[in-house]
Chains A and B, each alone.
Chain A
Amino acid sequence: MGNNYKKLTTIAILVTGLSLGIHPAIAAGGGGSSGSGMPSASGSAPAINFDPATEYRAGIDSLQAGKFRDAERSFAKVLSVLPKDANTNHLMGLAKKGRGKTKASRRYFEKAIKYKPDFVDAHKELGRAYALTGKPEKAQEELTWFENKLSECAQTCAQADALTQGSAAVTRAMAGEDNQEKKSGALALPTQQGDNAYLKAIRLINEKRYDEALLDLEKAARIIGPHPDILNYQGFGNRKLGRFNIAKRYYMTALRLNPDHLGANEYLGELYIETGELKKAKRQLAKIGRLCTFACAEEEELKRWLLASAQ
C-alpha cells in the first residue's frame, strides 16, 4: 500500500460519512476519488505516511480530556506536514494555552488568522492571549476587529452570535476577568455532524449555492480535520466563485494529502483550463490517465473540458 492515508471515495462519503469506520464502504477503501492508492513519487514534498485527519481527531480528544501534551504532539504532527492549516494552528494554540504557555499560544492563533483571516475563534483566543500576557494594545486591536466585523454584518449575519461572544470574551480578559476555561464549540461536536455538514455542502454545491456550501465545508473541516475530499470541494466552491488562487491552494493541499486523488486532479485540470494554462491542464489529464487503469469519469470529464476549450 505505501500510502497510509485512509481513502474515502467521494460517494463513499456521501454514502457513508467522512468519519471513519461507520460503514463497510469505508473499509472497502474504494477507488472513487482516491485512485489506485499508489502514491505517485512525483512532487517535491515527501509522502505523508499517516492520516492527518485521524491525528487531528486524536488531538481534539486529548484536548478535551485535558491531556494537553498529547494534544500538542498530535497537532505538531499534523502541522509538520500541513503547517498552513488554520484549524490545526488554532487547536495547537489551545493546547499550548492548556499547558499554561499562553505566550507561546499567540503564535499559533496568529497563524490561524493569517491562513484564515475571518477565523472568529482564533481572533477571540488571540485577543484573550494578548490581554493575559500584558499586551493590552494588541488585545484592543482584536477587539476592534470584532467591532468592525459586527458593524459590517449589522448583527444579523450567520456569525453574529459568535462575534458577540468573542468580543465579550476579549473584553473580559482585558478587564482581568478571564478565568473560566470555555471549550471551543467545534471541539465538542461529534464526527457525525461533520459528515452531515459535508453532505449538506454537496447538495448546496449542486444547487450552485457556493457561499453557503463553503460555510458547511468549513464546519466539516473543523470537525473532521484535513481531508482531501473536503479540501477538494473547498477548492471547487472557491473556483466557482472565481477565486482561482484560493481554489488552487485547496486543490494543492488535497493533493499533498493524496497525490492520486482523482477528484482534485480533475478539478485542478479544469482550473488550469479556466486560467488558460492548457499545458498544465493536459498534464493533469495525463496524470489522471495513469491513475485510471480501468477508465473513469474524472478522465472523461476533463477530456471534455479540454475539447471544449479547444473549440
Chain B
Amino acid sequence: MAVIACKQQAQRDPDPQGLAELRWLTLDADALKALGTAPTECLVNPDDKHTAALILIGRTAFASPLLLGGQAAKSGMSCQTCHSNGHSNKNFFLDGLSDAPGTADVTSSIFSTSRGDGVFNPKPIPSLSDKNAHTRTRDPASPELADFLHGLIEEEFAGFEPEPLIFDSVLSYLRALDNTACDSPIPVRPQSLERALERMDSATRAIEYAMLLDNQTQSTQFLLAAAQVQIGRISARYNKPVHARIRRDLASASENLRVLRENIPDAHADRALQKWREEWTGIQKRLRAQEHASLFDLSQLQNYLQDEP
C-alpha cells in the first residue's frame, strides 16, 4: 500500500504552498526581514553525548507542528513559530489571539478546549533563552518547567501527551537555550537554505539516535514526521514552475520517510534511513544549485512579497 502511494506521489507535482509564516505575520512587519532573517539560536554546549542527542531531538520537536494539537498544529504552527530560534517572534500576529505584534493569548479557546478562559488577554511572547526573563526555573531538580510544558501542550494547545523521550528532550532543549552562548547583541542571520538543511540534518541525527534506543517506536515515528514537515518547508521556498522537478524530488523524499515511518518497528530501519540519507545528499546538491532562484534568496523573496497582493 505505502509503496504504491509513494509511487503516485512521486509522479505528481505538488503545488507550491506559499509560505506558512505569512499567516501569522503582522501587516506592519518588514516582511522581508521577518521571513528572510532570524536571530541566531543560542545553545550552550551539552555536557555529554546523550544530552547532545536529546537537544537535537528536542530541537526537532520544538519546530514540529505535531507537538502541538488541534487548530494550531493544523495551521502549521509550532513552538518555533512564536519562539523563533528560542527568542521571541516580535512579528507574530494572529487575529483573535494577539492584540499587538509579538503577543499571543495562549489561553484562548481558539486553540484550547480546556483552558479557554473566556478572557482575551494576550501576553508578550517571551524569549526562552534570556535567563533574566525566565519566569520558570530551568533547574532540572524542579518540576516547574515540566508541569508548565505539559499544561502548554496538552491543555493550551489541545495536543496529545508527547512520548516521554520527546517531552524530556524538549525540556533539555529549553534548558540548553541560553543567550550567553551567543555574542551580544544576538546576531541576526539570513534564513538561508543552509540553515534549513542544517535543521534537516539535525532531524535525521535525532531520528538515528531515537532508532538506537529500545522501545522508541512512536518517538521515532514522531521525529520522522517532523523531518517530513521540514522538507515541506524547504519545498515551499522552491515555488516557481522551473522548480517542479525539485519539488517532486522533495515530495518523494518525504514520501520515502513516510514509508519508513509506517514500516517501523523494522529491524532494518537504520539501513533504510542510511539509504534515504544518500538520496537526500543528491537532493541537497540540486537544492543548492537552484537556491539563487528560490525564496531562500533575499531578492527572490522580495519579489515574491511584492507580488503578494
Please, what's the 1-or-0 string for B59-91, where 1 marks a CB less than 8 Å from any CB in chain A? 000000110011111111100000000000000
On chain A, the residues within 8 Å of B231 by CB distance are 294
Known: A262-B74, A297-B73. A28 touches B23 (CB 8 A): yes
On chain B, the residues within 8 Å of A29 by CB distance are 17-18
Assess whether A289 is in contact with B5, with CB atoms less than 8 Å apart: yes
Assess whether B96 is in contact with A199, with CB atoms less than 8 Å apart: yes
Q: How far is the CB of A268 from chain B (nearest CB, A)?
A: 15
Interface set, chain A 281-309, CB cutoff 8 A to B: 286, 289-290, 293-298, 300-301, 304
Q: Which of B111-119, B123-131, B144-152 contacts A (4 or more CB under 8 A)?
A: B111-119
Question: Which of chain A's residues has its CB closest to B115's CB?
Answer: A206
Q: Which of B8-16, B46-54, B267-275 contacts A (4 or more CB under 8 A)?
A: B8-16
Known: A24-B22, A295-B232, A304-B160. A15 touches B308 (CB 8 A): no
On chain A, the residues within 8 Å of B31 by CB distance are 24
On chain B, the residues within 8 Å of A301 by CB distance are 69
On chain B, the residues within 8 Å of A25 by CB distance are 22-25
State A33–B116 Cα separation when bound (angstroms).
23
State A218–B141 Cα separation when bound (angstroms).
52
Assess whether B77 is in contact with A11, with CB atoms less than 8 Å apart: yes
On chain B, the residues within 8 Å of A262 by CB distance are 74
Partner of A294, one of B8, B75, B77, B235: B235
Q: B175 near A: Cβ within 8 Å?
A: no
On chain A, the residues within 8 Å of B110 by CB distance are 14, 199, 202-203, 206
Partner of A295, one of B9, B27, B258: B258
Partner of B95, one of A17, A295, A297, A300: A17
State A21–B309 Cα separation when bound (angstroms).
8
Assess whether B18 is in contact with A294, with CB atoms less than 8 Å apart: no
Partner of A30, one of B20, B228, B229: B20
On chain A, the residues within 8 Å of B12 by CB distance are 38
Q: A171 near B: Cβ within 8 Å?
A: no
Q: A157 near B: Cβ within 8 Å?
A: no
Assess whether A31 is in contact with B76, with CB atoms less than 8 Å apart: yes
State A65–B110 Cα separation when bound (angstroms).
37
Q: A87 near B: Cβ within 8 Å?
A: no
From B14, B18, B109, B158, name the one whose CB has the most chain A CB atoms within 10 angstroms: B18
Q: B19 near A: Cβ within 8 Å?
A: yes
Q: A194 near B: Cβ within 8 Å?
A: no
Assess whether A207 is in contact with B5, with CB atoms less than 8 Å apart: no
Q: B154 near A: Cβ within 8 Å?
A: no
Q: B residues touching A (Cβ–Cβ < 8 Å)?
A: 1, 5, 8-9, 12, 14-15, 17-20, 22-25, 27, 31, 65-66, 69-77, 94-97, 108-113, 116, 118, 158, 160, 225-226, 228-229, 231-232, 235, 251, 254-255, 258, 308-309
